[in-house]
Copies of this chain bind each other. A is one copy, B any other.
C-alpha cells in the first residue's frame, strides 16, 4: 500500500467559489431538479431514518428553560438542522447539509441561516467537498417551484402572487422567469402593507425585471386574485400564516407552497383541488415529529398543505393516488394537468437530495475549472 492510497484531501468552496462554479444558474438548476425528482420517484435515493425518507434531524430549542444562557426558540426560525442523503443516477453521491438559523442574524448583517454542505464519496465516506451552501440552498429551493410550474401550470401564465417576501420567493420568482416568457405582473404580500421586505422585494423585481408590473398588496385576497401561479413561502412565528378561501383562487391556478398557509374551507380545498407533493414519506415523518395538540388533545392543523394531505391519507380520507409525487408526474406514472381549469395545490419542502444534486453539479464544475482550495485531511491516518 502506498501513501497515496491513504492520503485524503478535499475541496473547500467558499461563497465566491460557489458563484464562480455556477451556483446561481437557476435555469440549469431547474433541469437538475427534474433529474433529482425522477430519481426520487425511481427510489434511487436515500434519506435519513428508518423510513429512508426523513427531512433530517433538528435541534429543537425549548421555548423556556430554567438554565441561564440555554438557547431558546425565541426568534424566527431559531434552530439547527442536519439533512443527510444519498442521490443515485449519474450523481451517485452522499452528502449532508448542516445549518444554524436565527432571525436575529438579520440585525447583525448576516443571513438568517448560515448553511454548509458536505459532499461525500459513497464508498469510502470521505469528504470530497465542503462548501458554503447559502446560495446552493437558495437556488435549489427556488428552482423547485420553477420546476413545479413548468410541469403543472396552465400555459402562458401571466399573473404571479408572492405570499411571503423573503429569499425563497426571490429565487422562486427568478426560476419562473427562467422557465416562462409570458409573465406580466407580480403581486407581493409581506407581513403588512408597510413591510420592509415587501418593499425591498418590489425594488429588487423592478430593477431586475423592468418589464414586469409589480404591486404590494394589503391582504392575501388581493394578492391571489386572478393569479395564475401562487408562490407561498411564508415563515412566521406562532400560527399566523396566511389563511385563504378556495373561492379567491382563479380556475387553472397552480399554488405552490413551500412554507405555511391554510384554507379556511380546508375540506373544500382537499376535495376540489388537485394535490401534489414532493415526497409523501417526508410529511409522514413531519407528522410524527411536529404535530401539535390543543388543551383537549385535538390535533392542531399544521399550516403545511403537504402534512394535511398525508394526514388525510393516514385517516383514510384520501388515497396515495389522490396525492401523487412530483417525480411520478415527471415520469408519466401519475397524470399531470388534465384541463385548463384544474387548480393545483402543490407542496414542496426541503430535501437533502436537492442539495446533493445541485451541489454535485457545482462541485464537478469547480473541478473542471480548478476553483476552490484543496485541504489535506491527513497524509497517513493516525489510526486505522
Whether A111 and B381, one on each chain, are in contact in the complex, defined by CB atoms closer than 8 angstroms, is yes
Chain B residues in 8 Å Cβ range of A138: 383
- Residue of B98, B118, B383 touching A167 (CB-CB under 8 A): B383
Interface residues of A in 38-80 (CB under 8 A from B): 42-44, 46-50, 52, 54, 56-62, 67, 69-71, 80
Count, chain A residues at interface, CB 8 A: 83
Beyond known contacts A101-B125, A167-B383: 10 more, CB 8 A cutoff: A8-B110, A12-B12, A69-B88, A69-B92, A81-B84, A82-B98, A100-B126, A116-B130, A132-B377, A132-B378
Q: Which 6 A-B pairs have the closest CB atoms?
A: A100-B125, A48-B57, A57-B57, A6-B109, A15-B378, A82-B82
A16 CB, nearest partner CB in chain B, Å: 7
Looking at chain A's contact residues, the main secondary structure is mixed
A44's nearest neighbour on chain B, judged by CB, is: B67
Would you list 18 pairs from A and B whose C-beta atoms are within 8 A, ordered by A residue? Answer: A6-B110, A12-B375, A16-B378, A44-B70, A46-B61, A46-B71, A49-B60, A59-B86, A59-B94, A67-B88, A70-B88, A71-B123, A81-B84, A82-B96, A82-B98, A102-B125, A105-B124, A373-B375
A114 located at the interface, meaning its Cβ lies under 8 Å from any Cβ of chain B in the complex: yes
Give Cα A210 to B209, complex, Å.
76
Which B-chain residue is minimally distant from A112 (CB atoms)? B384
CA distance A82 to B125 in the complex (A): 12
A118 to B82, CA, bound (A): 11
Nearest Cβ in chain B — how far from A364, in angstroms? 17
What B residues does A338 contact at CB under 8 A?
Answer: none
Bound-state Cα–Cα, A114 to B47, Å? 20
